[in-house]
Amino acid sequence: MGMFDSMQINTSGLSLERLKLDVISSNIANANTTRTEEGGPYIKKDVAFEEAIKQQDSFFTGKAENKSFGVRATEIVEDETNTKMVFDPAHPDADEAGYVEYPNVDMADEMVQLMTTLRSYDANVTAMNASKAMLNKALEISK
């Protein structure tokens, strides 16, 4: 593992958590949106991600090895299940029977995801600061 690999891993985590925060914010902002440009209600979105693996030659053996370099977002997934049908014949988006289709965004779930994502972001910042402190200490020792 190189000297800056830990910082690269933390940076990838920070980027992922920032994307997740953006998606959660969009879900919360559109919790009551019944009409979008595509037609129909807003559809809840979520971030799919995976471990970022790179192949590198080992410093000791010289053989190619798979090494983890953090995480990466693979796609933003739309969850089209569980939209809510509410009877409101006066609503401009009501169908012939008087029902309006509302987004499948649950505010309680979004708030839990928001808090979890913020904690993960904070943990990555703490790990990044620890890596920087270790590198600074190594530079002081080498003087």
Q: Which domain holds residue 136?
A: 5-141
For residue range 48-101, what is the model confidence (pLDDT) as tens digits? 999 988 877 776 777 888 888 889 999 999 988 888 899 999 999 889 999 999
Whether residue 142 is predicted with pLDDT greater than 80 in this model: the reply is no
What is the number of structural domains in the chain? 1
State yes or no: pLDDT of 36 exceeds 80: yes
For the segment 100-117, the average pLDDT, to the nearest whole number, is 95
What share of the chain has pLDDT > 90, as a percent?
60
CA-CA distances (angstroms) from residue 143 to 21, 131, 138, 139?
Answer: 42, 19, 9, 7
Q: Are 67 and 57 in contact (CB under 8 A)?
A: no
pLDDT of 109: 95
Say what the pTM is. 0.83
Tell me how far apart the alpha carbons of residues 99 and 102 are, in angstroms, rounded to a whole number: 10
